[in-house]
A and B are shown apart, each in its own frame.
Chain A
Amino acid sequence: MATAMTETLTAAEPVDLLAKFDPIIQTREQLLAAGVEDPFNLVMEQVLSPPRAICNGRDTILLGTYNYMGMTFDPDVIAAGQAAMQDFGAGTTGSRVLNGTFRDHRDVETALREFYAMDHAMVFSTGYQANLGIISTLAGKGDYIILDIDSHASIWDGCAMGNAEVVPFKHNDVEALEKRLKRVPEGAGKLVVLEGVYSMMGDVAPLKEMVRISKAHGAMVLVDEAHSMGFIGEHGRGVAEDQGVIDDVDFIIGTFSKSVGTVGGFCVSNHPKFEVLRLVCRPYVFTAALPPSVMASSATSIRKLMHGGNKRAHLWENSRTLHGGLRALGFQLGTETPQSAIIAVIMPDLEKGAMMWEALLKEGLYVNLARPPATPAGMTLLRCSLCAEHSAEQVQTILGMFERAGKAIGIV
């Protein structure tokens, strides 16, 4: 019997679980065989300032970091982190609900409540986990999640992790949202999930109408403001604030890895029962809390962002100059007008996009190469995100680099 078992085991043909990724391996090999530097394997050997680094051996202007407000090198932010690391150690080694809540975890949640003028704030280890945890926990079996088709991967994964019915609607289409809200069976819980700024094209959502319609149909509303915190809206609270509907939004999701300049994610809310989520949200409970240094740096950064009016104005100036300049050069852009600090340059195809990306890198400019499935409608994009620390001269330098690279590759 034992012999027979062994024979069966050795005779079985092993199934390579990685074989399903062969098409991706091939695409990547073809790209690299064409001589292109690997767009997904860039190394920052030295970071000189928020918008400047030595990348793959070259002095490079960074135009694809989401470091919108340039807080990564703010002296106060660094000092706060250094002090906390000195006093509280390098890490927490524990969950927020066990031994992982330190003084600065509480303080960063206080800073968020102040920043958003809301009653509750809950900090996660990343923005991805904030969406994953909040969405999967809020919407359970029998509930409906109604979301924009161009939602970020973390939102989709939050949907996939829960048991709710998932109903997407066409990007930024108010009427499509309303139709779906009307068709949800009576009595079912409804969560509408929207983003303030969509990160691929840099376009803003019509939150004013969408939030109003969602509320009229008895839905709760969650808005991901990852790409707007710190510079959109009067207090930098995001697109919902800018469009005057923040009081009707039930949950705002955000991240520390963009304007705040550190790492971490959060949810803020005025819901009176919000605190229970700390006990039932698995991506909050079953992971280690962020290091105290990250919390102290984040709290300092958030409080400084409350008074960042001048930097904000300069960031908008940069966005307008780059958008207008690229258009004048003949590039096709994701939005007609500059709506955020993201400007998406649409490439004819992946091959041209990769060539353009490399040409820019050789000029000394880093942008994000974005391609399907992350992009809508199968597009290849060169995604530029501006920083308040880019000088006006740097933006002109960037335009010159785009012009030379675009002509060399034959895109303009």
Chain B
Amino acid sequence: MTPADVDAKIRTLIEPFNKKGVAIEDATTFAGDLEFDSLTVMDFVAEIEDEFDVIISMNQQAEIENWGQLVAAVHKLQDS
């Protein structure tokens, strides 16, 4: 999958979690802009993990603050 494909796929996955319909750009942050709490993060991460058959450990999650970083990380993970 190309980064664009990964982006498109995660965009459909985030829809049910993006309750306020925040416009998502690379710099959109999960904690700040999207107001994700820890349980939402867990559910959202689980969706991505299942879709791409990868593990995103909490150590890796700590490095991911915004959308662009998430897409890049998932692209790298599913590639390896």
Query: Which residues of A pack against B, CB within 8 Å?
Result: 144, 149, 159, 165-170, 176, 179-180, 183-184, 376-378
Chain A contacts for B50, CB-based, 8 A: 179
Using a CB-CB cutoff of 8 Å, which residues 1-52 of chain B contact chain A?
Answer: 37, 39, 42-43, 46, 49-50
Please classify the interface of chain B as helix (H, G, I), strand (E, B), loop, or mixed, using the class held by over half of its residues. helix
Tally A-B pairs: CB < 8 A: 36
B52 to chain A, nearest CB (A): 10
Q: Per a CB cutoff under 8 Å, which of A167, A176, A179, A378 touches B57?
A: A167
Chain B contacts for A167, CB-based, 8 A: 55, 57-58
Chain A contacts for B49, CB-based, 8 A: 179-180, 183
Q: Nearest B residue to A185 by beta-carbon distance?
A: B55
In the bound complex, how far is the Cα of B60 from the Cα of A142, in angstroms? 13
Q: A179-B49, A179-B50 are in contact. Are A149 and B58 (CB under 8 A)?
A: no
Q: Per a CB cutoff under 8 Å, which of A159, A170, A184 touches B42?
A: A170
In the bound complex, how far is the Cα of B53 from the Cα of A142, in angstroms? 19
Check: B72 CB closer than 8 A to any chain A CB.
no
In the bound complex, how far is the Cα of B57 from the Cα of A144, in angstroms? 9
Q: Are B57 and A149 in contact (CB under 8 A)?
A: no
Q: A168-B42, A170-B46 are in contact. Are A183 and B55 (CB under 8 A)?
A: yes
Q: Are B37 and A149 in contact (CB under 8 A)?
A: no
In the bound complex, how far is the Cα of B59 from the Cα of A378, in angstroms? 23
Q: A179-B49, A179-B50 are in contact. Are A165 and B42 (CB under 8 A)?
A: no
Q: Are A183 and B59 in contact (CB under 8 A)?
A: no
A378 to chain B, nearest CB (A): 7
Chain B contacts for A376, CB-based, 8 A: 39
Q: Nearest B residue to A156 by beta-carbon distance?
A: B58
Q: Number of residues in B with C-beta < 8 Å to the partner?
A: 14
Q: Are A180 and B55 in contact (CB under 8 A)?
A: yes
A181 to chain B, nearest CB (A): 10
Pairs across A and B, CB under 8 Å, 20 listed: A149-B39, A159-B58, A165-B55, A165-B59, A166-B57, A166-B58, A166-B59, A167-B58, A170-B42, A170-B46, A176-B46, A179-B49, A179-B50, A180-B49, A180-B55, A183-B53, A183-B54, A183-B55, A377-B39, A378-B39
Chain B contacts for A176, CB-based, 8 A: 46
Chain B contacts for A168, CB-based, 8 A: 42, 58
B3 to chain A, nearest CB (A): 21
Residue of A165, A376, A378 with most partner-chain B CB within 10 A? A165
Taking A167-B55, A378-B37 as given, write out 19 further A-B residue pairs in contact, using a Cβ cutoff of 8 Å, ordered by the A residue number: A144-B55, A144-B57, A149-B39, A165-B55, A165-B59, A166-B57, A166-B58, A166-B59, A167-B57, A167-B58, A168-B58, A170-B42, A170-B46, A176-B46, A179-B49, A179-B50, A183-B49, A184-B55, A376-B39
Chain A contacts for B55, CB-based, 8 A: 144, 165, 167, 180, 183-184
Q: Nearest A residue to B55 by beta-carbon distance?
A: A183
A377 to chain B, nearest CB (A): 6
Chain B contacts for A159, CB-based, 8 A: 58
Q: Nearest A residue to B58 by beta-carbon distance?
A: A166
